[in-house]
Amino acid sequence: MHLPDDPLAAAGRALRDQRAGLLAQAAALRADLAGIAAATAGADGDDEHDPEGATIAFERAQTASLLERTEARLAALDGALARLAAGRYGDCARCGRPVGAERLAARPDATTCVGCAR
């Protein structure tokens, strides 16, 4: 039985909340990328000579990079949720010792303790 103040239950809620926020962020970034693609659909693709081409290329690259980072963060949170479900959340993947409450508070998806992370 999990009590309302159970640290693992609280961690699970926090992980799921972060995941929901990142899913929304990823959806918004995908929509931004689609908008950039739609805006350039009629362009000739010559970024070098188009006065707005460099700006559009930068926006596309920046948005794609943000989406990649968001998807990587989602994968890390999914891994943390899987470890939580398997009863291994908070155990260092390298040495097996506890990751530590402070480290998990700072990085809820941490897979290693501070010693092994060095």
Residue type (1 letter), 47: D
> What's the mean pLDDT in 47-68?
81
For the chain, the average pLDDT equals 88
In the structure, what pLDDT confidence band is assigned to residue 2 with cuts at 50, 70 and 90? very low
Q: Is 90 exceeded by the pLDDT of residue 40? A: no
Note the residue count of the chain.
118
DSSP state letters, 46-85: -TTTSTTHHHHHHHHHHHHHHHHHHHHHHHHHHHHHHHHH
Indicate if the pLDDT at residue 45 is higher than 60.
no
Contact 98, 90 (CB under 8 A): yes
Q: What is the rounded average pLDDT of the residues 13-31?
A: 96
